[in-house]
């Protein structure tokens, strides 16, 4: 009887102990990203033209009161001005964006340098993405396309956080097209939902984040990073036929660029002067993007290498670009893409016939939207544009 009573007490104690352990384990298993310190990204804010990270002055508005920080007054001071997170965000009236005066979540650092002031916005990665996705893709796009965009944007940001050329400035990225456009368009319900529904998810290969490049519209095919002259192309970047965006306005275009504009570029970029005589295509990538141009003037001959440099040399700024649907758009700093043919060269200038908008590497955003309309999931969209990738949760919460 005594043994039975002892055994009964033992069982009761054992049950209580196991219950406590179970509760503890469940609590531990129930920990999510909210219980962990979410990684922060450091964003260098550029000027109103998205051109320079250095500012002559930075104006901060807090609770209706403005404070102006002047580069000249702070130059030489070895100090960082820290502005804590504000409930309604930190307003910076000295910067103009498409949304007007931008309001930044997180906190802000103002760093005096010889070249001017650096304004570094520090905030949680997911909050950053909520202001990137609507700035990079129209919020009216299909849900699965927006989710694919969110994953590309997160992957790209995470890759930069591991190592960026901006680290010497105390930043991981800037807010321009050089990295990802941030806070040009305020967060929208659809894009915020896409970020939250893919929270923590990135594209990975062999345990490392990939360079999840994306661009606006294809010319019927995508390219690898060979267009940038890399010695070895990334295995996850592939050239694929892309007919999903074939009816988009930017899938085909024509533009005439006057010789005078190209002669100015020949001087500034190639250091050769004189009347321009001819421009010829020397090399193309396997996907058809122009990767080398020869420029001949009365003063000599020069070579333009690489997708970006070619688009910069053939800048259509001030020229009229006719798109596939007949609409006319004024050109900007860069040629729409490096997918083009020289249609003619006459007394007025050079006429180019091309297709696509952007560098052409990775995911076409307009194609992703059309794929989503056809019922493709975000996983299927991304697996179409990237090879042998894995979907990984950087927060480790499944």
Q: What is the pLDDT of residues 98-128, one digit of tens each?
A: 989 999 999 999 999 999 999 999 999 999 9
Q: What residues make up the domain containing 67?
A: 40-212+362-393
Q: Are residues 203 and 310 in the same domain?
A: no
For residue 29, pLDDT over 70 is answered with no
Whole-angstrom distance, CA of residue 147 vs CA of residue 192 = 10
- Average of per-residue pLDDT across 15-43: 54
In-domain check, residue 19:
no
Q: How far is CA 35 from CA 105, 200, 395, in A?
A: 20, 14, 11
Dihedral angle computed from the Cα positions of residues 143, 148, 150 and 152, in that order, rounded to the nearest 10 degrees: -170
* Average predicted confidence (pLDDT) for the chain: 90
pLDDT reported for residue 388? 94
Contacts of 257 (CB under 8 A, 6+ apart): 314, 315, 316, 319, 349, 350, 351, 352
| Confidence bin at 36 (pLDDT 50/70/90) | low
Pull the structure tokens for residue 5.
């009573």
What domain count does the chain have?
2
Q: Are residues 98 and 197 in the same domain?
A: yes
In-domain check, residue 5:
no
For residue 17, pLDDT over 50 is answered with no
Whole-angstrom distance, CA of residue 111 vs CA of residue 263 = 40
In-domain check, residue 289:
yes
In-domain check, residue 228:
no
Higher pLDDT, residue 2 or 126: 126
pTM over 0.85: yes
């Amino acid at each position: 009887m005594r043994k039975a009573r002892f055994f009964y007490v033992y069982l009761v104690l054992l049950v209580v102990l196991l219950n406590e352990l179970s509760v503890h384990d469940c609590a531990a298993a129930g920990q999510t990203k909210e219980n962990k310190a979410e990684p922060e990204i450091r964003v260098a804010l550029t000027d109103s033209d998205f051109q320079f990270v250095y500012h002559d002055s930075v104006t901060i508005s807090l609770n209706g009161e403005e404070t102006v920080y002047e580069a000249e007054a702070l130059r030489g001071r070895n100090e960082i001005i820290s502005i804590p997170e504000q409930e309604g965000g930190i307003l910076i009236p000295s910067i103009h964006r498409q949304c007007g005066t931008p309001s930044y979540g997180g906190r802000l650092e103002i760093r005096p340098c010889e070249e001017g002031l650096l304004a570094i916005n520090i905030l949680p990665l997911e909050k950053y993405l909520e202001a990137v996705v609507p700035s990079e893709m129209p919020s009216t796009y299909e849900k699965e396309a927006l989710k694919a965009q969110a994953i590309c944007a997160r992957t790209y940001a995470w890759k930069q956080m591991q190592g960026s050329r901006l680290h010497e400035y105390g930043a991981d990225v800037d807010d321009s097209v050089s990295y990802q456009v941030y806070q040009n368009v305020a967060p929208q319900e659809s894009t915020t939902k896409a970020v939250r529904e893919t929270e923590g998810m990135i594209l990975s290969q062999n345990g490392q984040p990939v360079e999840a490049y994306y661009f606006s519209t294809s010319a019927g095919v995508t390219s690898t990073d060979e267009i940038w002259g890399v010695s070895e192309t990334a295995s996850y970047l592939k050239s694929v036929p892309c007919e999903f965006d074939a009816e988009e306005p930017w899938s085909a275009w024509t533009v005439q660029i006057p010789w005078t504009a190209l002669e100015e570029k020949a001087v500034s970029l190639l250091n050769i002067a004189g009347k321009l005589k001819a421009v010829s295509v020397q090399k193309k990538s396997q996907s058809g993007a122009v990767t080398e141009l020869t420029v001949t003037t009365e003063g000599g001959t020069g070579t333009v290498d690489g997708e970006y440099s070619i688009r910069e040399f053939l800048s259509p700024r001030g020229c009229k670009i006719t798109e596939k649907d007949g609409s006319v758009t004024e050109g900007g700093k860069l040629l729409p893409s490096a997918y083009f043919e020289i249609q003619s060269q006459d007394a007025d200038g050079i006429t180019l016939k091309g297709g696509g908008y952007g560098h052409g590497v990775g995911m076409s955003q307009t194609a992703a939207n059309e794929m989503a309309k056809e019922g493709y999931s975000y996983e299927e969209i991304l697996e179409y544009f990237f090879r042998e990738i894995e979907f990984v949760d950087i927060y480790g919460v499944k």
